[in-house]
Amino acid sequence: MPDDNKPPKDKPTVRSTDPPTPLTELPAEGLVGLGTGGDVAVPDGLVAAPLPLRSGSITLDVGTDITDQLNQASPAFGNVLTAVGNAVAASQQTLDKSVVDTVKKLNDTKIKVVTQVVEELNADGIPDPTKTQLITNEVSVLNYFTPTFHQWRRVSIAMDLAVGEFHSEQGVQFTKHQESTSGGGSFLWGFGGWFNFQHASSDQSVQTDAEQNVAWSSGQCLIDAELAPRNTGKLPVPASVTIGPQIYVTQGAVSEQKTGEIVTSRSVALLIELRKTSGEPMQQGVNITLETGGLLPSFATGSSTDINGQVKVTLTRSLSAASKGFQKFQGSVNLKSITTGFTVLL
């Protein structure tokens, strides 16, 4: 029985009858040339067909220049940069607004602080607690607490993508043909005979196809940001200007007192003049407090202003044999919360 195996001259074309399943990842990096575009090699026996992408993506045709398609898909990374940039700008605007609101709140909050302590000494030269005056002033908390401005000093983005695809195909096809023929008989001389002939043939064809497509992708996006204080100047400290009565101190000539030929003391006359805010002389009877710095004061008509708004006082320094040189003495004239200092040389 002859057995003839006849393989097909050409490998049959394989095409999947099922519709392509949409992929949720990008096409394989090994199949598509990145950057400048290029062609995709088609294995023998495969039919050139477009690679399926996820919904809304571009379709890359096999065997064609894909530069234009990649240029259309390139804004994907730009969209990530835009989203991050907008987020940084929005957060920076919120940070600045928060600081501005804080400054307004601190400026509107007032506190009372002591700006001056006035002590009055008794006859023994000891401060009298019952006569101590605390001069206070109401100021803004912003003078003592300055908020810190922050800014995004550095924001960096790193993206790492890995894509791939695997395609495999298996196919087996063969054809089998069998034929058999047999014949036989007998012949008897004079009586005749018989003859028998038999013929049989069979054909068998087997075809098996298998195709597998696997695509995958993975990646990560890393964002590194640094929030730091912004270099800004300090808020200006408000200047304090006092408008009120004025005190003027005028020093007269220095005189010496002697005992025989020995100088025992020196004296200097001071003219203290008080004026109102308008510039007019202070009214009569306004008391002042005089700090002489260790010198002995002697008032002409008391420590109250006269009809001209003036107070006349003489300061005297006692001299000893060991210290007769001239020295500087610091003093002050106080009118309630107004203080004017002066220096005399005796």
Residues 194-242 have pLDDT tens digits of 666 677 777 777 777 777 777 766 777 788 889 888 877 766 766 767 7
**Same structural domain, 169 and 257:** no
Name the more confident of 189 and 124: 124
SS3 content of the chain, % helix, strand, coil (to 5): 15, 45, 40
Give the end of a domain, one of 210, 238, 266. Answer: 238
pLDDT for 179 equals 77
**Same structural domain, 56 and 195:** yes
pTM: 0.39
Phi, psi of 202 (to 5 degrees): -145, 145
Residues 328-345 have pLDDT tens digits of 999 999 988 788 999 998
Q: Is the pLDDT of residue 21 over 80?
A: no
**Same structural domain, 113 and 250:** no
- 3-state class (DSSP) for residue 90: helix
User: Structure tokens of 143?
Assistant: 């003078």
The C-alpha atoms of residue 245 and residue 272 are separated, in whole angstroms, by 13
pLDDT for 269 equals 93
Q: Output DSSP code: residue 60.
A: B
Q: Output DSSP code: residue 301.
A: S
Residues β-bridged to residue 340:
333
**Same structural domain, 219 and 256:** no
- In this predicted structure, which of 135-149, 177-191, 294-308 has the lowest mean pLDDT? 177-191
Residue 112 CA: distances (Å) to CA of 44, 138, 219, 321: 92, 4, 61, 51
The C-alpha atoms of residue 309 and residue 3 are separated, in whole angstroms, by 147
Q: Is the pLDDT of residue 163 over 90?
A: no
Ramachandran bin of 11, using left for φ above 0, alpha for ψ from -120 to 50, beta for the remaining angles: beta
Pairing verdict, β 150-188 and 3-5? antiparallel
| Residue keyed to tokens 């002050």 | 332
Phi, psi of 322 (to 5 degrees): -85, -25
Q: Calculate mean pLDDT across residues 164-171.
A: 72
**Same structural domain, 193 and 323:** no
**Same structural domain, 178 and 275:** no
- 3-state class (DSSP) for residue 236: coil
Rg (CA), the chain: 56
Count of alpha carbons within 13 angstroms of residue 282, beta-carbon side: 21
Structural domain count of the chain: 2
Which residue segment(s) compose the domain that 106 sits in? 1-238
CA 193 to chain centre: 116
Residue type, 188: L
**Same structural domain, 142 and 158:** yes
Residues 107-124 have pLDDT tens digits of 899 999 888 888 877 766
Q: Is the pLDDT of residue 49 over 50?
A: no
**Same structural domain, 275 and 153:** no
CA atoms 284, 285, 291, 297: torsion sign: positive
Task: Give the length of the chain.
Answer: 346
Give the end of a domain, one of 198, 215, 238. Answer: 238
Give the end of a domain, one of 204, 238, 272. Answer: 238
pLDDT for 248 equals 93
The C-alpha atoms of residue 266 and residue 269 are separated, in whole angstroms, by 10
Residue from 219, 216, 218, 220 nearest 164 by CA = 216
Q: Is the pLDDT of residue 52 over 50?
A: no
Residues 311-320 have pLDDT tens digits of 999 999 988 8
Q: Which helix (H) or strand (E) holds 150?
A: strand 150-188
The C-alpha atoms of residue 213 and residue 233 are separated, in whole angstroms, by 64
CATH of the domain at 255: 2.60.40
**Same structural domain, 224 and 260:** no
User: Structure tokens of 265?
Assistant: 């003391």
**Same structural domain, 125 and 211:** yes
The C-alpha atoms of residue 314 and residue 252 are separated, in whole angstroms, by 9
**Same structural domain, 234 and 277:** no
**Same structural domain, 148 and 38:** yes
